[in-house]
């Protein structure tokens, strides 16, 4: 299954049925992998999504989901394998590389298809409305971030014969994307898979600078006025927050450097002779600010202690006037959609791809990103269908 070799499919087997179903896009073809499907999962794309969402794949535990993707490509006559870091590789035409991540954040959401509620109502336990009244909606971890985009890309890759990679560890350290960049040449164009909604194209992401503040001070009675290591950490962070507070309070979040402490640990050392503290921090960096400048300004607020900085994730802002972006606008409008050009305040693997490869790229995929990592994560199945159509149209225009 993950040997790196393509395999022949018996036309009478389930794998053969899956191949024929994708080639013809015939609804209701018999594709079974580990059980039956809800009635609404009546196309190859919907069945693959149901399978993938049903397989838990938190970062570091992607193997079973990766094997299912390899099965899908091999059943459709495509060579596919799992590389040394766990990425699913299905090379073909590099006119476009379709890539999304196999891993999800942890979380056990029962996998089920429910009809969207009537207008004016919301399903328990959600306060986000998705789907037209009565249409089937698939609930489950990863349905939006980013198994929905991953499946849409896998199906479009089979339909069009373009290259595909399902990367691992995006949710923790982007280890799969980093390996991919060092292991292959740049494609002609990149479409990264994250939820944008089928009518949206994401062109920009902020960068990320992560650090760990470390300090130690002598222990002493808490009534003494001298600040200890914990206070020094707090003072440094207050200085960092003030340094990056925008002068104009109306500045859009995307255009700000935002600061966030992630964890703080402090107290007496094991021998009782010192006060120790560590603070994990993140700074989100807009494309208008060099990461090196942000690093220097944060360091300048230090009076004591030190910060160990991780490898930065550079920001990215792609032009909406590339041929790739234009192809998306045409395909979305052709499907009856109103195009939305998006900038995201977080990060994605596109940050790394853009820094390494000087190629046109966008991020695209079905799903409402308000449901990323949420306990009510879900995707209307019609949105998956529309995203497959858009991706297929765009890839065919690039070939």
Helix, strand, coil fractions of the chain, as percent rounded to 5: 30, 25, 45
171 marked as part of a ligand binding site: yes
101 marked as part of a ligand binding site: yes
In the set 170, 318, 385, 393, the catalytic residue is 170
194 marked as part of a ligand binding site: yes
Question: Residue 76, exposed/middle/buried by CB under 10 A (0-12, 13-18, 19+)?
Answer: buried
Distance CA 394, CA 96 (A): 9
Q: Is 185 annotated in the active site? A: no
Distance CA 265, CA 75 (A): 51
| Look-up of token digits 């209307």 | 380
Task: Tell me the CA distances in angstroms from 295 to 37, 271, 285, 302, one per residue in order.
Answer: 51, 34, 10, 12
| Look-up of token digits 């393509």 | 6
Distance CA 228, CA 246 (A): 30
In the set 51, 71, 103, 349, the catalytic residue is 103
Q: Is 103 annotated in the active site? A: yes
Task: Give, to the nearest 10 degrees, the angle between helix 63-75 and helix 14-24.
Answer: 70
Distance CA 345, CA 194 (A): 13
Distance CA 299, CA 178 (A): 27
Cβ atoms of 128 and 22 within 8 Å: the answer is no
Among 80, 194, 100, 180, CA closest to 145: 194
Cβ atoms of 336 and 68 within 8 Å: the answer is no
| Residue 24 neighbours by CB distance under 10 Å | 10
Distance CA 240, CA 301 (A): 6
Q: Give the residue ranges of the annotated binding site.
A: 101, 145, 171, 194, 373
Q: Give the residue ranges of the annotated binding site for Zn(2+).
A: 101, 145, 171, 194, 373
- Show which residues are catalytic: 103, 170
């Amino acid at each position: 299954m993950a040997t790196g070799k393509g395999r022949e499919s018996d036309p009478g087997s389930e794998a053969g049925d899956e191949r024929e179903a994708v080639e013809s896009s015939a609804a209701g073809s018999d594709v079974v992998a580990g059980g039956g499907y809800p009635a609404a999962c009546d196309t190859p794309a919907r069945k693959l999504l149901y399978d993938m969402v049903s397989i838990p794949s938190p970062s570091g535990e992607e193997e079973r989901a990766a094997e299912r993707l390899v099965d899908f490509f091999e059943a459709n006559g495509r060579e596919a394998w799992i590389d040394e870091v766990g990425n699913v590789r299905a090379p073909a035409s590099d006119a476009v590389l379709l890539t999304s991540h196999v891993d999800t954040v942890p979380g056990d959401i029962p996998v089920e298809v429910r009809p969207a509620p009537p207008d004016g109502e919301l399903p328990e336990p959600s306060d986000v409305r998705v789907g037209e009244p009565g249409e089937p909606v698939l609930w489950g971890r990863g349905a939006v971030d980013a198994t929905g985009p991953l499946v849409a890309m896998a199906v479009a890759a089979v339909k069009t014969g373009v290259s595909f990679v399902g990367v691992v560890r995006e949710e923790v350290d982007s280890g799969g994307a980093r390996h991919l960049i060092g292991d292959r040449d740049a494609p002609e164009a990149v479409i990264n898979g994250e939820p944008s909604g089928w009518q949206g194209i994401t062109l920009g992401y902020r960068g990320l600078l992560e650090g760990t503040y470390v300090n130690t001070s002598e222990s002493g009675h808490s009534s003494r006025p001298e600040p200890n290591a914990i206070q020094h950490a707090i003072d440094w962070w207050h200085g960092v927050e003030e340094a990056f507070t925008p002068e104009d309070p109306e500045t859009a979040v995307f255009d700000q450097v935002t600061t966030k402490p992630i964890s703080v640990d402090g107290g007496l050392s094991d021998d009782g002779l010192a006060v120790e503290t560590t603070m994990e921090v993140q700074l989100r960096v807009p494309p208008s600010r060099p990461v090196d400048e942000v690093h220097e300004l944060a360091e300048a607020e230090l009076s004591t202690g030190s910060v160990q900085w991780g490898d930065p994730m550079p920001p990215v802002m792609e032009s909406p006037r590339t041929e790739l972006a234009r192809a998306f606008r045409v395909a979305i409008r052709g499907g009856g959609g109103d195009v939305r050009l998006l900038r995201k305040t977080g990060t994605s693997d596109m940050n790394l791809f853009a820094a390494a490869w000087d190629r046109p790229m966008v991020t695209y995929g079905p799903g409402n990103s308000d449901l990323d990592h949420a306990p009510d994560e879900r995707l209307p199945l019609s949105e998956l269908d529309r995203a497959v159509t858009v991706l297929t149209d765009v890839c065919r225009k690039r070939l």
